[in-house]
Amino acid sequence: MAANPPLKVLFLSAEVVPFAKTGGLADVAGSLPKAIRALGHDIRVCMPRYGCVDRERFGLQEIVPPFDVPVDKGREPASIWQGTLGKDVPVYFVDCPRFFDRDGIYMYPDDAERFIFFCRAAMEMLRRPELNWQPDIIHCNDWHTAIIPNWLHTIYKDDPFYSGIASVYTIHNLAYQGIFGYRVLEVAGIDKYGFIYHPGMADLGEVVDLMARGIYFADVINTVSERYAQEILTPEFGERLDPLLRDRRDRLFGILNGIDNEVMNPATDPHLCANFDANSLDRRAANKEALQCEAGLAVSPNAPLVGAISRLTDQKGFDLISRVIDPLMCYTDMQFVLLGTGDRNYHDMFTALAQRYPQRVAVFLTFNAPLAQRIYGGSDIFLMPSRFEPCGLGQMIAMRYGSVPVVRATGGLADTVQDYDPRTDRGNGFTFEAYDSMALFAALVRAFETYKHTSVWRRLMLRCMAEDFSWARSAKKYVELYYRAISARTPREARPFDQYGVTRPDREA
């Protein structure tokens, strides 16, 4: 059988490391394309040029001068600037000062318009002569780019340039769906098709849920761990899209995220005061001491130092901590350092905690990538008690840096962390099942008890560091997914006018 030919893939993401990052999506977008490129495929990345993406710092060059992009009833010019990810992955930046020349990435009142514009500019960019490139696959990620599979079935369906392109849609977190009103269909130029309709999901006929559209129209869909791909088929984790996901389950896959082993490398990480690897693990103690100093904690080599780096939202499970922190402080000698930003109530809660236990709890309520590395490299235990977790990168990075994870067994956390069993000496961390503060308490206490046995703990650390979370394996699975998308490509006429149909709203458009 002839080998599959190399693919041409346009990978669209709202955030990409090192250019702009708020969370795990940026890590994935900054590392997966490099691994796919290394397999010999022509993958190119596209993202908005936000104000924080400095043209000079990243050596960007204008490759497509301003061209008109349809948006709403009018047009808005965009130009395309090119940069590079890693050694050789081209990155196309959509430049449009009106929408993107702002300090932040999200949370603006016109976010729907901004990301629809980004997608439309990316689509129109493809047929510009300066590019001279036509992808086989468009790989969309999260709600920001979910409109594209919908467009391939509507405004672009009769256009020969686009009709052969297959779409892949990756759900990084089902909790953020991009839900807007009918007006967004006008902005996207598809108001004449109206709302989508699915039996058992009445609200889809009343709102524009961009993620639901990605799921509904993409040729294949995946999420970022196998466990989460199963979990989201249930009402508990399905964020009310589970009927639609169950309906599409023959096209839904789970592929575990990887981490960039070159960037996430304790042997070379410039942010650590002492670099180390499995052969020089003793050097790691200097990082713990430096972290204790930096955080204003008592310098104590034997106190188990628990680290957490996270967005502070209900998803991440920190309400569990608040209920057990006092007994933990009373009955154990743990120290706790937290780095994170998010909801006000968690900021208040952790600020109060740090004030109550000044020598033992340190809290940094900010986004700080170098400090994150120092916490991975200096903590003994890494805490992720998530309520749900599509994949989770924190626990993988922590393991690579020898910080043993304590996690709730859900989603990607369950796929990557196996509970330590002292009888068999198997496992690479500590897990708990029920979303319950006492279950978390028990897991932490088991970790602290194990930590007292220096040689056992050392073995655990080495086992964590030996785990292979590199992208190599998962990148191959993405390539298989791309081929699957090509063979599963739905004829453009088949959706949306299939058994579900599309309804127009009850008002005149």
Residues that bind ligand ADP (CB under 6 A): 23-24, 27, 173, 309-311, 339-341, 367-369, 372, 391-394
CB-wise, 138 or 337, nearer to ligand ADP? 337
Cβ-in-10-Å burial (0-12, 13-18, 19+) of 287 comes to buried
To ligand ADP, the closest distance from the beta carbon of 373 in angstroms equals 8
Q: Give dist(CA 362, CA 389) in Å, integer.
A: 25
CB-wise, 217 or 364, nearer to ligand ADP? 364
**Strand blocks (E) in 314-389:** 335-342, 361-364, 381-384
To ligand ADP, the closest distance from the beta carbon of 22 in angstroms equals 7
- Locus of tokens 């780019």: 145
- Locus of tokens 């696959």: 137
To ligand ADP, the closest distance from the beta carbon of 309 in angstroms equals 5
Nearest residue to ligand ADP on Cβ basis: 24
CB-wise, 309 or 334, nearer to ligand ADP? 309
Cα angle 428-430-436, degrees, rounded to a multiple of 5 = 155
- Locus of tokens 């809290």: 363
**DSSP code per residue over 75-139:** EEEEEEEEEEETTTEEEEEEE-HHHH-SS-SS--TTHHHHHHHHHHHHHHHHT-TTT----SEEE
CB-wise, 311 or 347, nearer to ligand ADP? 311
Continuous segment of H or E residues that includes residue 328: helix 318-331
CB-wise, 45 or 309, nearer to ligand ADP? 309
CB-wise, 303 or 338, nearer to ligand ADP? 338
To ligand ADP, the closest distance from the beta carbon of 248 in angstroms equals 23
CB-wise, 99 or 346, nearer to ligand ADP? 346
CB-wise, 60 or 264, nearer to ligand ADP? 264
CA 474, distance to chain mean position in Å, is 15
Query: Which pair of structure tokens corresponds to residue 409?
Result: 């067994």
To ligand ADP, the closest distance from the beta carbon of 256 in angstroms equals 12
To ligand ADP, the closest distance from the beta carbon of 357 in angstroms equals 21
Query: Which pair of structure tokens corresponds to residue 395?
Result: 């626990």
To ligand ADP, the closest distance from the beta carbon of 364 in angstroms equals 7
Q: Give dist(CA 138, CA 148) in Å, integer.
A: 8
To ligand ADP, the closest distance from the beta carbon of 259 in angstroms equals 8
Sign of CA dihedral 50, 141, 485, 118: negative
